[in-house]
Amino acid sequence: MSDLTDFMRSAEYIKIYTGMESSGPQKGIIHTEDASDRLFWKQVVNEVCPGKYDIKPFSQGGEAGKRRLEQQYRHLHKHYLIAVDSDYDFLCPDRNEFSAELNANPFILHTFCYSRESFIHTTESVEELTDCIHLHEKTHSQIKEALQRFSVTVYDALLVFSWLHNQDQQRFKESDFNQCFKLPHGVLILDDNLEVNEVAFKSLSQSVERYSEEYAALITDQDSFNHHETLLRSKGITPESALLFINGHHLLDGIFRPVYEKLIRKSRTTDNEWVVNHYPDSEVQSRKNQVRNHYEESCRPRQLINRCESYKTSPFWHRITQKLTVAEHAT
Query: Residues 169-182: what's their mean pLDDT?
Result: 96
Name residue 90's amino acid.
F
- Cβ 133 vs Cβ 221: under 8 Å: no
Phi, psi angle pair for 56, to nearest 5°: -135, 135
pLDDT the model gives residue 4: 43
| Residue 123 CA neighbour count, 13 Å, CB half | 11
Ramachandran category for residue 34: left, alpha or beta (phi over 0 → left; psi -120 to 50 → alpha):
beta
- Cβ 85 vs Cβ 66: under 8 Å: yes
- Cβ 266 vs Cβ 194: under 8 Å: yes
Q: Name which of 70, 96, 90 is nearest 168 in CA terms.
A: 96
- Please write the tens of the pLDDT for every residue from 281-305: 999 999 999 999 999 999 999 999 9
pLDDT the model gives residue 199: 97
- Please write the tens of the pLDDT for every residue from 70-101: 999 999 999 999 999 999 999 999 999 999 99
CB atoms within 10 A of CB 213: 12
- Please write the tens of the pLDDT for every residue from 103-158: 999 999 999 999 999 999 999 999 999 999 999 999 999 999 999 999 999 999 99
Query: Residues 171-181: what's their mean pLDDT?
Result: 96
Tell me the domain boundaries of the chain: 2-84, 118-309
Mean pLDDT, rounded, of the chain = 93
CB atoms within 10 A of CB 182: 14
Q: Give DSSP secondary structure letters for 277-292.
A: HHS-HHHHHHHHHHHH
Confidence check: pLDDT of 320 > 90: yes
Query: Residues 236-245: what's their mean pLDDT?
Result: 97
Q: What percent of the chain has pLDDT over 90?
A: 88
- Pick 323 or 68 by higher pLDDT: 323
Query: Residues 28-41: what's their mean pLDDT?
Result: 93
Q: Name which of 104, 96, 60, 67 is nearest 84 in CA terms.
A: 67
Please tell me the pTM assigned to this model. 0.91
